[in-house]
Amino acid sequence: MNNFVFQNHTRIYFGKGVVEEYLAKLLQPYGKNVLLAYGGGSIKRTGVYDTVTAQVRAAGKTVFDFPGIMANPTKAKVDEGVRLVKEKNIDFILAVGGGSAIDCAKAIAIGSRYAGDWWNDFWLNQGRVDFEQLPLGVVLTISGTGSEFDGGGVITNTETNIKTGRIYPELSPNFSLLDPDYTLTVPERQVRATAFDTMSHLMEFYFCKPDTDNVSDDLLEALLRAQIRNFRSFMKDLKDYDARSNIEWISSLALCGIMGLGKQPDFDCHNLEHQIGAFTDCVHGEGLAVITPPYYRWLLPHAVGRFVRFAVNVWGLAPQGDDKALAAAGVEALADFIRSVGLPTTMQQLGVKDMAELTKIARSVQTGPGTYCKCTPADVEAIFKACWE
């Protein structure tokens, strides 16, 4: 194992009824003014808004609404939230929703307590949180990103077409309430996309060095098998509580920090996808579904042993003499799975207009240092072209 330091300060409350049971008590230690950060209105349609605001008021707090956080939250929306926090003397942010509401709330938590340019100093560049940011809690209504249990936040600057994520352990929410019943109203398309997002997080940690015996790899294989099994179950019955609660907890585990211990991921599938999102506003998990098979076909010759392990331990393929063929069969099993659950497979389905736009997006991607192999700008372009149609 490589050396590591691990701490995650988020307290998780998981299961039916956790909001009614715990939210009011959890808010007690904080100040009076609570900013309720949420999306385009699903929480009003499902009744979650009424339940949550009743608990906030029961705690003796005043609710200030901050609605309209869009999927792929923007820098402009964060700026709006920062202004509201200052104007209303907000003491606590409660994000109610998924990755978009939570990430926007995290950026507001930093931006509202920082005197300089939060975008430049904490998102464009890695900063240091050496000041007290605004405290943050979460009521999760859609699982997948793991934002409820990590310090990550992904924000899009629509003026410069840059979508970028940063991780600050200090931004892990103070608490997160996860009632799987709250996720049962998520439309099927989003359920599929977010479940694939979780698979991608697990694979990002799995397809990287070191290859020496590492318990993180054993955990990742177990979670990947569980995710695939539960994915197949909810595709038969979207209201399958066991499957939906399992994928919710797997998604939290995937990015809580434990799965990547001792590993050196570069999250390049995410680096590629984020720029497609910056240009097309596509659904994050769908973008990942499109680019992952061609990305892995490109990576395979540099990591044959790792892909053989994936084929055998994740997809249950029988070991055979020809390692390269077995490794390739594992990637094709993943591609077949993506097709079988109805996720998109082409750039055109994501909304990329033409080859000129595809090239422009490819050239805007900043890849990581590379673990098995550095993905060059020419590689990115070739991967994108391989999934054009």
List of residues 6+ apart from 284 with CB closer than 8 A: 71, 72, 99, 145, 193, 197, 273, 277
Token reading at 306: 């790792």
Check residue 103 for interaction with Zn ion (CB under 5 A): no
Q: Taking CB under 5 A as the criterion, which residues in 236-295 touch Zn ion? A: none
Name the segment binding ligand NZQ (CB under 6 A); options: 7-15, 115-123, 144-152, 297-305. 144-152
Closest separation in Å from C-beta 323 to Zn ion: 30
Question: Which residues between 98 and 137 bind ligand NZQ (CB under 6 A)?
Answer: 98-101, 103
Tell me whether strands 136-140 and 11-14 are parallel, antiparallel or unpaired.
Answer: unpaired
Among residues 81, 111, 152, 293, which is the contact residue for ligand NZQ, using CB under 6 A? 152
For residue 352, give the DSSP letter: -
Q: Which is nearer to Zn ion, 55 or 292 (CB)?
A: 292
Terminal-to-terminal C-alpha distance of the chain: 41
> Cα angle vertex 272, ends 244, 341, to 5°?
35
Smallest separation (angstroms) from ligand NZQ to the CB of 267: 8
CB 78 within 8 A of CB 104: yes
Which residue, 19 or 328, is less far from ligand NZQ as judged by CB? 19
Q: Which amino acid is at 178?
A: L
Six token digits for residue 41:
């209105």
Q: How far is the CB of 148 from ligand NZQ (least distance, A)?
A: 9
158 belongs to the binding site for ligand NZQ (CB under 6 A):
no
**x/- string (CB under 5 A) for Zn ion, residues 177-206?**
--------------------x---------
CB 14 within 8 A of CB 139: no
Distances (CA, A) of 241 to 19, 237, 256: 18, 9, 23
User: What secondary structure does DSSP assign to 70-130, as a single string?
Assistant: PSS-BHHHHHHHHHHHHHHT--EEEEEESHHHHHHHHHHHHHTT-SS-HIIIIIIS-----
Q: Does 183 bind ligand NZQ (CB under 6 A)?
A: yes
239 Cα distance to chain centroid: 22
Smallest separation (angstroms) from Zn ion to the CB of 207? 14
Q: Is 246 in the site for ligand NZQ (CB under 6 A)?
A: no
Q: Under rule CB under 6 A, which residues in 251-290 are in contact with ligand NZQ? A: 255, 270, 284
Q: Where does this chain bind ligand NZQ (CB under 6 A)?
A: 39-43, 46, 71-72, 97-101, 103, 141-142, 144-147, 150, 152-154, 165, 182-183, 185-186, 190, 194, 197, 255, 270, 284
Q: Where does this chain bind Zn ion (CB under 5 A)?
A: 197
